[in-house]
Chains A and B, each alone.
Chain A
Amino acid sequence: MSLLLILIPLISSVFLLLARPGAVRTIALVTTLANFAVSAFACMGFVGDGSFNHEFRLPWLAEAGITFRLGMDGVSLLMVLLTNLLAPLIVLSSYGKNFDNEPRYYGLVMLMLAALNGVFMALDGLVFYIFYELALIPIYFICAIWGGQDRIRTTLKFFIYTFVGSLFMLVSLLYVYLQTSLPAGTLAEAGATMHSFAWEDLVQVQLAPGAANWVITGFFLAFAVKMPVFPFHTWQPDTYTAAPTGGTMLLSGIMLKMGIYGLIRWMVPLAPEAMHTMAPVFILLAVIGIVYASIIAVKQSDLKRLIAYSSIAHVGLIAAGAMAWNKAGMQGSLIQMLNHGINVVGLFFIADLIERRLGTRTLADMGGIAKSAPKFATLFMIIMLGSVAVPLTNGFPGEFLLLNGVWNYNMWLGIVSGLTIIFGAVYMLRAYGLAVFGEANEATARFEDVSTREFVVLGVIAALVMVLGFFPGMVLNLTDGSVNRILGAVQF
């Protein structure tokens, strides 16, 4: 089952990369839907006690203790669901555009999907690292081939930034790996001890305090760049703006969750010894990021850039909640990862629809869309409210739990993080007001309402915003067992 989630998009990607232009969109859509069906199927018969379901093992490099191993607990399953839920929406949202080399675009998206699923399911350190890097190559090509202005410089900066970050993670992983020792199996020379990359073996390693600080810093650099956390965020607004919308959705909807997932699955469990000294620094950086990005978002005139900065703010809160390492914080971060993924994909799609119709992303050139496109305005409002975390939308339970978690960790940090809700309301409502209400100008008066296909995408997202707002318990139950297990096993 786990393997299928990687193999289906991988095979489809090879096929699409070699294909001639034709029915490639349909193939891509069918692939993502099939993958979603598999991940939904994986939920049935899922044992939520925190153990790894649907495990798959294949010896890869037995001499060096590397096994191709996949498996899902509640946390992984949630991420896999998010990935495969958003993938069809992302493919559908790219339908309306004419790319000059369509098969390659969808082929790269499929490759990306395979890598993302691999990241969330890998239970072997090196396999995780490889998938983590593999996800970078297709998104780099997507952004640099089909991106907008200044794409080459921006995306190279993005690539080098994230690659350097993950190389430090590799060094940390290697260090922990070399501390593992298993009794020599039949494969090793007699008397030698073997090392292992298996998640359980890595977690068991006791690190010396000094070394643990270095190890955790290596991991943090990789994940902080990916999310991004202040002050490692400088690549993000440029890249989000320059990337084609499909690429931005992949980056913001799914890829940044790799960083937070990495915190929960790898960083803290592997080096809990250092959390006592380092966690305050990390959480403080995350909280600074919340305030800093929110203030910049309020000032933005470009809709896509505004969403990009709002994403930094939201992710800062999620990261702070996860690193507070208590029940409320972690549950909140998990549910909010799902919600943020859904909302941000919706918002970027809306920004793209506006840009396609008006040819501009500047808020000052919009206004009065509500009159000419009421359906669009309504769907926009629902998604926007979800992002602001109004009660009964999906953002609310997540932010509530997150703030609760950060508050439990430190009251003052909780209060400062709370600003995110106020700022969020300010910049989102400002953007919504400027875009949708007010006087229509010549261009916005002829604003076409959503087509059926666009309605399907936005409708599904808006429905999810409301359903998850009414019934957050569905998600919380899914991850409850795993969260208890992780928090019980890793304490500091």
Chain B
Amino acid sequence: MTALLILFATAIAVLFAGLTKNRQFLQPIALAGSLMALGATAYDLLGGNPNPWNDMYASMFQFTPFALAFSGVTLLSTVLIIGLSGWGFRNLNETLGDNYGLILFSLCGALCMFSFTNMTMLFLGIEILSIPLYVLAGSQRDNLSGNEAALKYFLMGAFATGILLFGIALVYGATASFDLETIASAIGDGRHSAGMLNAGILLIIIGLSFKVSAVPFHFWAPDVYTGSPNLVTAFMATVVKTAGFAAFYRLFSIGFAPAEDFWSLPITAIAALTMTVANVTAIFQTDFKRMMAYSSISHAGYLLLAVLAIGTTGSDRALLFYTLTYSLATICAFGAYIAVSEPNNDGSFSAFNGLSKKQPLLAAVLAIAMLSLAGIPPTTGFFGKYFLFTAAFAKYPWLIVLAVINSAISIYYYFKIIIAMYFTREENDYVVSIPSGVRWVVLAGLLLIALLTFIPGSVYALI
């Protein structure tokens, strides 16, 4: 709760500071605010605050360790993304303040999605998260594909919201409550109308699948990811995805757990489809950002395994660990991508040719990020996959075999980058320099990846 208040205050402060001429203060303010929020979350999580204001707003927020840990993941991602922004947002002079403000407002929505105990709050959280993003996606006003991305994102998002809302209404109709605990006990007691409940759950699954871009509700994602400004894409791929899955998990583990027999089948199908379709499509991409879009869809498929594993000890931890490693690797990758593609205006794989000779550090970081996304030991991505797969293995062994085959397919496209950087002998004459923001962020990301490799227990034991 403290973190939420700090973020909100910082967002407003940045918005007003953006009206003045002193733009150089915007990034430090946003960074300081999100770092303070991160500190407050860590303080709460480690037990410093015995009663973290859980009784406010009729207890519709509960900042449980689960919520705090996921807040930590998204706050950390945001800190790193804001760290990159001195470079990545440099073209957005007039609207810089708005950009930071919108990112922080969006993050407030994510925090609501981690802590809701009531479906009203879930809905509000999703909307608070999404609306700033529609604006951010189109924040480069003179960029045609950016406008397309924003419009597409807005239309699809609004559509999904409608479906989600309808689902929530049906569940309310079936169980007479918005409160997760009450819904669960109503389902458990059999005091509900089964048909209406199932229809509601199905619509909620579809709505959330739109939000987390799971197949077959993913069509908006590649265009939106490609068209949006790079850092906004990084934000969507990390914070938004984490928030979507944490909310998914929370809703189904508390509210709909007794109805597992019904929802496990559609989610299994979505998970299997998501992994396979996204991985196979990613093979054919030639543009880094589009490849990352499909990669992020395929990770959504793996993350659904955590939802399926609800009820198994450690499924929440697996989700936490996976989202953290995935976010770190993605942000590192985007940092390197921004440094390579923006000055040279080329985002294809061949833009990375010979990067290992020009910028060994950047190449090494990007290579490690790719290995981690592919889940190759000993990078943290492996541990993320390992925890997820172990959690779901007992219930869904064949789905895990499919997931394993898919991780093998993913090597092919992640390694294209490594091949371009290290093995390709055709050079390009691109100049790649590392701005200091990028350097610090990728080094911090690398350090965290290394730490998670050697002491995976540190995060795993948080919740």
Contact = CB atoms under 8 A, between A and B. Distances in A.
Given A144-B419, A159-B411, A134 B378 contact: yes
Nearest to A130: B377
Given A133-B377, A152-B419, A174 B461 contact: no
Contacts of B401: 171
A133 B404 contact: no
Contacts of B155: none
B408 A133 contact: no
Contacts of B404: 167-168, 170-171
A167 B377 CA distance: 11
B342 to A, nearest CB: 27
Contacts, number: 74
A160 B419 contact: no
Given A171-B401, A175-B397, A145 B457 contact: no
Chain B interface residue number, banded:
20 to 34
Interface in A131-171: 133-134, 136-137, 141, 144-145, 151-152, 156, 159-160, 163-164, 167-168, 170-171
A145 B457 CA distance: 35
Given A137-B371, A152-B423, A163 B460 contact: no
B393 interface: yes
A61 interface: yes
B371 A145 contact: no
B294 interface: no
Interface residues of A, number: 32
A168 B403 CA distance: 11
A167 B386 contact: no
B13 interface: no
Given A63-B461, A141-B422, A164 B371 contact: no
B30 to A, nearest CB: 34
Interface in A175-224: 175, 177-178, 189, 192
Nearest to A179: B394
A160 B457 contact: no
A168 B400 CA distance: 10
Contacts of A164: 405, 408
A60 interface: yes
B39 interface: no
B423 A145 contact: yes
A185 B389 CA distance: 23
The majority secondary structure among interface residues of chain A is helix
Contacts of B386: 126, 170
A152 B421 CA distance: 12
Contacts of B393: 174-175, 178
B457 A174 contact: no
A13 to B, nearest CB: 13
Contacts of A422: none
A207 to B, nearest CB: 14
Contact of B382 (A60, A62, A130): A130
Given A159-B411, A164-B408, A144 B422 contact: yes
Interface of B: 313-314, 371, 376-378, 382, 386-387, 389-390, 393-394, 397, 400-401, 404-405, 407-408, 411-412, 415, 419, 422-424, 456-457, 460-461
Interface of A: 60-64, 126, 129-130, 133-134, 136-137, 141, 144-145, 151-152, 156, 159-160, 163-164, 167-168, 170-171, 174-175, 177-178, 189, 192
14 contacts: A61-B460, A63-B460, A63-B461, A64-B314, A129-B377, A133-B376, A133-B377, A144-B419, A145-B423, A152-B419, A152-B424, A163-B408, A170-B404, A178-B390
Going nearest first, the 10 A-B pairs with the smallest beta carbon separation are A133-B377, A130-B377, A164-B408, A167-B404, A144-B423, A61-B457, A130-B378, A152-B423, A174-B393, A134-B378
